[in-house]
A and B are shown apart, each in its own frame.
Chain A
């Protein structure tokens, strides 16, 4: 059984249909890329899955329908989204941002503290700056913080909306490295990227979204080889 199953998902913004019935699924532990040009509906898809936008269709996580479940309840169900623009709480300290990631967790303080230390081990920069306001971090550090914070939710499915956007090349490398690292821990990942080549290089499968419809889905390797994809999204 797939971890995530989406069928015929539709989303409208005040009468204008942004998603025209898309279907996709993600198996446990899989890393799937969702690519598409600006305005195709990638962010809309992730927001609908996370419960930030009302939608129609079918949406199941671990066999359980989430369609009518409020967004904040989906976190405990195992979904986490690192939104476009990162959404760190600029006026909370770095550490508070990480702590609030564990808001719905029922584990003991000792276990959560241990997980916090694991995040710090992964991102030493965050540990150095743990008492600083998150708003004072650089873009790359904020992206690390947003990913670390999402990990504190202990998700089964982690969704990332353009995590490499606006980052320096070195930081982009670090971001993709981290995503792979999280993936090897068994977390399923749905990765939205403008940077299609790099996304497909670490993903096992990919979906191509064009003006609100999925037009192609295949193994990542095949998508990388496809002439049409190369022309449209890989700039070669």
Chain B
């Protein structure tokens, strides 16, 4: 029971991060029908920029309560700029090209960003400094620490704000209109390029937040960290129904839970033959399962004619 509760908590924490990243995939897919494979790298850049900002300020007189928000905003700003540039430079010229072209470009952008990050920040693991004392709390036999608690709460807040934006504001209405029918959106006077740029920037801001979350949780940052995280968040988006915002959030949390419960029990289930190091396999089993049995995902509709 304690294992169950502990893995539930771990799954929720990890799932919150997946959900934030999956939202970026799903927003871009919803509006452009494009899988932005470079999105995982945006998460990594967010983490790196936050790390650099924190390290630059650590020796100074600034207290942690200033350092963290400044680093957060630096990361968000950098990622929004990056997301904007990716769309502007790599995808916009291919807006009317056959689908394979932007897909290959997306993979190319991902590789370019990884390589650039490796050149700039090196191949080594960087320690992500702990700015605040990270206390652990006992919770019915399971343990949750401050960072994990903050991850869940901030993810909930950010996702609620996004839902409000998309469903209750003029901009959100325009985003949904562009996602559904671009030429009809133009006829309403909507500048679709602007709306698409904003969508990329919003997704990238979420990625920056997610990047800081994983870095603070695991305490390390690495130029390659965006790859696996991006792939799993993409899986989460597909699980929930790509293009569907609620689906991305549900898929993210579910994937986090499946992974951590799977890792917690796989040893017992296989009589010790397989260990929790098989955790990563669960995400891709889920991906394969969804693609075979429910390609439109849990909450998705009509993906077949869009993908």
Contacts and interface: CB of A to CB of B under 8 A. Distances in A.
Contacts of B187: 50, 52, 71, 75, 80-81, 83, 87
B184 interface: yes
Nearest to A104: B189
A76 interface: yes
Q: How large is the interface on A (under 10, 10 to 19, 20 to 34, 35 or more residues)?
A: 20 to 34
Contacts of A17: none
Given A89-B176, A96-B173, A99-B173, A52 B181 contact: no
A52 B176 contact: no
B186 A89 contact: no
A80 B192 CA distance: 17
Contacts of B174: 100, 103
B186 A72 contact: yes
B169 to A, nearest CB: 11
Interface string A92-118: 100010011101100000000000000
A100 B188 contact: yes
A46 to B, nearest CB: 10
B246 to A, nearest CB: 13
A90 B173 CA distance: 12
B177 interface: yes
A91 interface: yes
A153 interface: yes
Contacts, number: 63
Contacts of B134: none
B187 to A, nearest CB: 5
A33 B138 CA distance: 76
B189 A52 contact: no
Contacts of B176: 89, 91-92
B156 interface: no
A76 B190 CA distance: 10
B170 interface: yes
A87 B186 contact: no
B192 A72 contact: yes
B180 A72 contact: no
Interface in B186-233: 186-192
Interface string A145-174: 000010001000000000000000000000
Given A72-B191, A72-B192, A87-B181, A100 B186 contact: no
DSSP class of B's interface residues: helix, strand, loop or mixed? helix
A212 interface: no
A51 interface: yes
A4 to B, nearest CB: 17
A87 B189 CA distance: 14
Contacts of A51: 186
A153 B188 contact: yes
Nearest to A152: B188
Contacts of B192: 72
Interface in B150-197: 170, 173-174, 176-177, 180-181, 183-192
A75 B189 CA distance: 5
A155 to B, nearest CB: 11
Nearest to B186: A71
A90 B184 CA distance: 11
A89 B189 contact: no
A175 to B, nearest CB: 18
Interface string A53-93: 00000000000000000111101100011010001111110
Interface string B110-129: 00000000000000000000
Contacts of A87: 181, 183-184, 187
A92 B177 contact: yes
13 contacts: A52-B187, A72-B185, A72-B188, A72-B191, A89-B176, A89-B180, A91-B176, A92-B173, A92-B176, A103-B170, A104-B189, A149-B188, A153-B189
Closest 7 CB pairs of A and B: A75-B189, A87-B184, A104-B189, A71-B186, A103-B188, A72-B186, A103-B189
Given A50-B187, A83-B183, A92-B177, 4 more contacts: A71-B186, A83-B184, A87-B184, A103-B190
